[in-house]
Each structure stands twice: as C-alpha cells, then as structure tokens.
Amino acid sequence: MASQSGDTTCATAHYIETMLMEMRTMSMSNNCDMLTYLLEMAMIEASDIAAGKISAGRQETRVLEKSTKPNAEDLAALFMSGALK
C-alpha cells in the first residue's frame, strides 16, 4: 500500500502533467518547437512520477569543469546517469 506522502506526490505529478499538456497545446499552436519539446520532456517525467515508475527525489547531476578534460570514469558515470546520449 502506498504511503499518504506517495499518494500526494503521485496526485501532484498527475496535476502537473495535465497543466503541461495544456501548455504544450498552446506552444504547438504557436510553432514554438523547442518549447514544445521541453514541455513534452517534462510531461514524460511527470507521467513517470505519477505512475510510480520513478521517484520524485532529486537526482544528482555531475557537471564537468570547462577547464578539465573528462576522463573515462567521468564519461562513464555521466552516460550511466543518462546525462549523455
């Protein structure tokens, strides 16, 4: 059985997904292609959280300094986290 907090998170994510759908429709009707794409990505994230496929917790993002060259370990970690495609 899901916790009350989990239920609230899922309900909130579902509401956000619904609002994003409305914004996506407006974005598409105004030919804002990049904005439409970003809203679609946010919709997928909200949908996955609402469905319980992923958690809503913060995910750590590693950013490489511009002055340093990434080594194989850094690149592998970024790839595995989904930051590189």
What would the mean pLDDT of 41-55 be, rounded to a whole number? 91
Q: Is residue 26 part of a domain?
A: yes
pLDDT band, residue 56 (cuts 50/70/90): confident
Helices and strands, number each (H, E), in the chain: 3, 0
Res 1: pLDDT: 41
Q: Is residue 72 part of a domain?
A: no
Q: Is residue 76 part of a domain?
A: no
Q: Which residue has the higher pLDDT, 13 or 71?
A: 13
Could you report the per-residue pLDDT of 1-10, keeping only the tens digit for each?
445 667 899 9
Q: Is residue 70 part of a domain?
A: no
Return d(Cα 36, Cα 79) in angstroms, integer: 25
DSSP state of 13: H
Q: Is residue 2 part of a domain?
A: yes
Give pTM, 2 decimals: 0.60
Could you report the per-residue pLDDT of 66-77, keeping only the tens digit for each?
556 667 777 777
**Inter-residue contact 20 to 43 (CB < 8 Å):** yes
- Give how many domains the chain has, as a whole number: 1
What would the mean pLDDT of 15-30 be, rounded to a whole number? 97
Write out the residue range of the structural domain in which residue 26 sits: 1-55
